[in-house]
Amino acid sequence: MGYITAAQAAEKWKVSQRRVQILCAQQRIEGVFKLGEVWAIPDDAEKPNDNRIKRTENNDEN
């Protein structure tokens, strides 16, 4: 298993690097750990759901 940086994960998941760093700090990505100032994210980690967006049945239809 390899690891990628927050910048690489951001590009892969089409989100900002800061958002990935926040997800790491919140331990929302399984297997993540910090090496000094850099987050190490497993290269096979899945992007967590964005809990900032409230999903309802009506929103899913659009």
In a domain, 42, yes or no: yes
Q: Is residue 12 part of a domain?
A: yes
- Structural contact between residues 10 and 19, judged by C-beta atoms closer than 8 angstroms: yes
- Quick: pLDDT tens for 17-62: 999 999 999 999 999 999 999 999 999 999 998 777 777 776 555 5
Residue 58 resides in a domain: no
Q: pTM of the predicted model, to two decimals?
A: 0.79
The verdict on residue 60 lying in a domain is: no
Position 60 scores a pLDDT of 57
- Structural domains of the chain, count: 1
Q: Is residue 56 part of a domain?
A: no
Q: Is 33 part of any domain?
A: yes
* Residue 61, domain member (yes or no): no
CB burial of 24-54 (b: ≥16 within 10 Å; e: otherwise) equals beeeebeebeeeeeebbbbeebeeeeeeeee
What residue numbers bound the domain in which 28 lies? Answer: 3-46
